[in-house]
């Protein structure tokens, strides 16, 4: 089985994860611009966070607001130009509910030998989707919104999503798992989309 997940993310006979309806209150939130390929910042390796303080929590709030505004379910700090090892996620967002999750300095370990094929997408590679296989179960250690250490076993879509976002912290996008030709096609598609948006905004 394959599902589309959009973090902008396919693991049910193709389920899209990232394209959900924004709500009216989003206009009141601190929404930041999400970088798109081929912006070189997206290839930077993010740095560990020293402490979870009010400044970092403000960053995480902005990340969440930006993710919701873009109809996403996951976002790494580097996607808004901040090279810190921080991820936000909400896998319930598509159901009209809010269940935000925060991951600071996440570390993955003990991946399952079993893999799942998901047709992934990304807010930094808008409108482009392709299949990537990842372990369907993995351990994650991290600090939460309050700086408390947590350990979880992520399975299924959660496992795939957290691995997708962890890639961002290493300067890797999901298209980097694809062939060179597919990567080139994805980047060109995004360039055309961005150019068209700029022309529309200028009109």
Would you please indicate which residues are annotated as catalytic (active-site) residues?
A: 165
User: 37 near 173, Cβ under 8 Å?
Assistant: yes
For β-strands 125-135 and 115-122, DSSP reports them as antiparallel
DSSP codes, 53-121? -HHHHHHHHHHHHHHHHTT-SEEEGGGGT--BSEEEE-TTGGGT----EEEEEEEEE---S-EEEEEEE
Preceding peptide of 38 cis, ω within 30°: yes
Q: Is 11 helix (H, G, I), strand (E, B) or coil?
A: coil
């Amino acid at each position: 089985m394959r599902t589309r997940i959009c973090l902008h993310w396919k693991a049910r006979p193709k389920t899209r994860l990232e394209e959900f309806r924004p709500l009216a209150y989003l206009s009141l939130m601190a929404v930041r611009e999400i970088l798109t390929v081929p912006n070189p910042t997206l290839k930077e390796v993010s740095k560990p966070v020293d402490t979870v303080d009010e400044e970092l929590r403000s960053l995480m709030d902005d990340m969440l607001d930006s993710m919701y505004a873009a109809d996403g379910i996951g976002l790494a700090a580097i996607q808004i130009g901040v090279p810190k090892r921080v991820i936000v996620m909400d896998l319930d967002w598509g159901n009209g509910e809010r269940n935000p999750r925060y991951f600071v300095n996440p570390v993955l370990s003990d991946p399952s030998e079993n893999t799942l094929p998901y047709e992934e997408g990304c807010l930094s590679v808008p409108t482009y989707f392709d299949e990537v296989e990842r372990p369907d179960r993995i351990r994650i250690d991290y600090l939460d919104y309050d700086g408390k250490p947590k350990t979880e076993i992520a399975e299924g879509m959660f496992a795939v999503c957290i691995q997708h976002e962890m890639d961002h912290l290493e300067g890797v996008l999901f298209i980097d798992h694809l062939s060179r030709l597919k990567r080139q096609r994805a980047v060109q598609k995004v360039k055309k989309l961005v150019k068209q948006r700029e022309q529309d905004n200028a009109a």
